[in-house]
Structure 1
Amino acid sequence: MNAPASVASCQVTECAFNDDGCHADAVTIAGSEGAPTCGTFIELDVRGGLPTAQGHVGACQRLECVHNKDLMCTAEAVTIGGDTANCLTYEQE
C-alpha cells in the first residue's frame, strides 16, 4: 500500500490546524460532489495539532474523484485552499 497523500499546502489561515502548514495528523476530504472540502477544518482562536506540519489525508469521501481508491487518496499530495477549505487537487471522473 502506498503512503497516504500528504497535505502539500493549506492556504486556509482561519483553520486551527494551519500554522504555516497543516498540523493535523490526518484530514478527511468531505463535502459534496463537485465541491470537496476539508472535513477537518475548524475555526478556533487557538492553534492545535502536531508540533510540526506533516498532515496527510486519512480518508476521502469523494468517490467520484479520480484520486479516490477504496476511500483513500492516491494523489502524491493535496492542496487545500479557498474560503471553505476546498481540496484543490480534486478531479472529477
Structure 2
Amino acid sequence: GAADGGRTGAKGGQDAQGGEGFPYTVTNCGVKTTFEKAPERAVTMNQHVTEVMLALGLEDRMAGTAFLDDEILPEYRAAYDRIEVVADAYPSY
C-alpha cells in the first residue's frame, strides 16, 4: 500500500534462497513484481539514481545508465565514464 511505499507481502527476515529481505514484492502502476533475490546488476534511468549508485560505490553493479539532465558531479565523473550509456533520452512507452 501507499504507507509502505507500495510494498506488499515483503518479508523482513533471512531467506535461505534470496538473502535478507527476500522475496520482496512491489506494486507499481498496478503491476505486482516479486524479486526472489537481490538484483546483481541494474540500469539507472535518471541522473539522480545514477549519482546515488555511484555515491554508494555500486558502479560495478551498474549494467548501464540513461541520459543526463545536467553535467555529472565531478566526484563521480571517472566512475560514470566507465558505465555504458544505453539511452540518449528517457524511454517513451
TM-score band w.r.t. shorter chain: under 0.3
Q: Which entry has the higher C-alpha Rg, 1 or 2?
A: 2
Q: Larger % of strand: which?
A: 1
Higher relative contact order (CA 8 A, sep 6+): 1
